[in-house]
Amino acid sequence: MRTLFIGLFIVSFFFSNVQAAFSTENEKDEKTLREERMSLYKKAEATTHIPWYYFAGIDQYERQVRRTHKDIPHEKGALGIYIEPSRWVGPMNPHKEAQDETVISLFGGIGKDGNGDGKADQYDDEDILYTIGSYLQSYGITPPQIKIGLWQYYHRDRTVSIILGHAKLFKTFSTLDLDHHAFPLPLNANFSYKNTWGDARGWGGRRIHEGTDIFANYSVPVRSTCYGIVEMKGWNRYGGWRLGIRDVNNNYHYFAHLNGFTKDLEVGQVVEPGMVVGGVGSTGYGPPGTSGKFPPHLHYGMYKDNGRTEWSFDPYSHLKMWERSDRQKAKGN
């Protein structure tokens, strides 16, 4: 029995160390990638006069879109930006792999040679960024002109809004490493929650529950779970006083039934993990000001934008992971 115990301990120790080494290696790979991407953005800024954080915003948005679509090929370089071949070489160009910039231009393509090698390569990171930068530059390099250029390129208001939000975050923090999170309530609060995503709801018509309810006392601080932009703030007859925050992974974080908001919190404001944005309440299920129709709790939902539509997904596993992470950090301090 003792031999078996020792054997199991050794196996467990081995796999724990392998997992830790693998995690560290992945972190190093991500760090290297972020450094490579930043170098590419800064080079594109120097040649197009489009600030680097706009390239970072576009790239981050498109990388997340790619991960939600099976019909978009996996990126071959450091960037996530995908320009359809017909758009790169021109819709009527019979050569979908054309790299001659003059020929591409004749067929109405947008592909450009960004590194001076004489080829407009749709798989080359420098060429991709220079092409995007040149397209935006044709509308101007001021923020309003860049916004127009983005709309002309994507023809989708939400896409433009998300990209500009990403750009604002990258500009504010001067880093690409913004994929960090926090549990929405302080760990010293008395709270409880279970997985209720998909449960039936009846008030206001039959529907499903698009989130997890975290029960806590009135006015317990509600915190931002991410680096993000406040995208929505106000009253909804279902969610009461509610708040929406968009993160750099195109996820929309929804906080509902609040008893109010942090003073001076505004739409368009930058927030970060752990920043207090409101308090737990029981508002909703009626006209503005309705409260007390159910016990106080935070309704927390998550939604993913894939460039075409947006849908709800179960936040429970994320909440559990963020809670564990916060507890581990607290133990380390």
250 neighbors 270 (Cβ within 8 angstroms) = no
CATH code where residue 207 lies: 2.70.70.10
Check whether residue 50 and residue 129 sit in a common domain: yes
Comparing CA positions, the residue from 166, 36, 170 lying closest to residue 44 is: 36
Please tell me the predicted confidence (pLDDT) of residue 10.
42
Check whether residue 53 and residue 124 sit in a common domain: yes
* Domain boundary pick from 130, 146, 173: 173
Q: What pairs with residue 305 in β-bridges?
A: 310
Check whether residue 166 and residue 222 sit in a common domain: no
Check whether residue 60 and residue 146 sit in a common domain: yes
In a domain? residue 10? no
* Domain boundary pick from 105, 138, 173: 173
Comparing CA positions, the residue from 122, 152, 123 lying closest to residue 136 is: 152
The domain total for the chain is 2
Check whether residue 163 and residue 213 sit in a common domain: no
Please tell me the predicted confidence (pLDDT) of residue 208.
67
| Sequence-ordered strand ranges (E) for the chain | 192-193, 200-201, 207-208, 212-215, 221-223, 228-236, 240-247, 251-261, 270-271, 276-280, 297-305, 310-313
195: left (phi over 0), alpha (psi -120 to 50) or beta: beta
Q: What is the pTM of this model?
A: 0.87
Check whether residue 49 and residue 146 sit in a common domain: yes
Check whether residue 208 and residue 98 sit in a common domain: no
Comparing CA positions, the residue from 162, 163, 138, 165 lying closest to residue 149 is: 138
* Domain boundary pick from 173, 200, 225: 173
In a domain? residue 262? yes
Which domain range does residue 322 map to?
Answer: 192-332
Q: How far apart are CA 324 and CA 16, in angstroms?
A: 17
Please tell me the predicted confidence (pLDDT) of residue 21.
39
Please tell me the predicted confidence (pLDDT) of residue 215.
97
In a domain? residue 307? yes
Q: What pairs with residue 261 in β-bridges?
A: 278
In a domain? residue 48? yes
Per-residue pLDDT tens listing for the chain (333 residues): 445 444 434 434 443 443 443 344 455 588 999 999 999 999 999 999 999 999 999 999 999 999 888 888 888 899 999 999 999 999 999 999 999 999 999 999 999 999 999 999 999 999 999 999 999 999 999 999 999 999 999 999 999 999 999 999 999 999 999 999 999 999 999 999 998 877 767 555 556 678 899 999 999 999 999 999 999 999 999 899 999 999 999 999 999 999 999 999 999 999 999 999 999 999 999 999 999 999 999 999 999 999 999 989 999 999 999 999 999 998 886
121 neighbors 127 (Cβ within 8 angstroms) = yes
Q: How far apart are CA 315 and CA 178, in angstroms?
A: 19
In a domain? residue 178? no
In a domain? residue 258? yes
In a domain? residue 9? no
Check whether residue 55 and residue 162 sit in a common domain: yes
Check whether residue 169 and residue 196 sit in a common domain: no
Q: β-strand 251-261 against 276-280: which pairing, if any?
A: antiparallel
Check whether residue 209 and residue 128 sit in a common domain: no
Please tell me the predicted confidence (pLDDT) of residue 333.
67
User: Is residue 22 helix, strand or coil?
Assistant: helix
In a domain? residue 185? no
Please tell me the predicted confidence (pLDDT) of residue 81.
96
Question: Residues 290, 202, 210, CA angle at the centre, nearest 5°?
Answer: 85
Check whether residue 254 and residue 208 sit in a common domain: yes
Check whether residue 61 and residue 153 sit in a common domain: yes
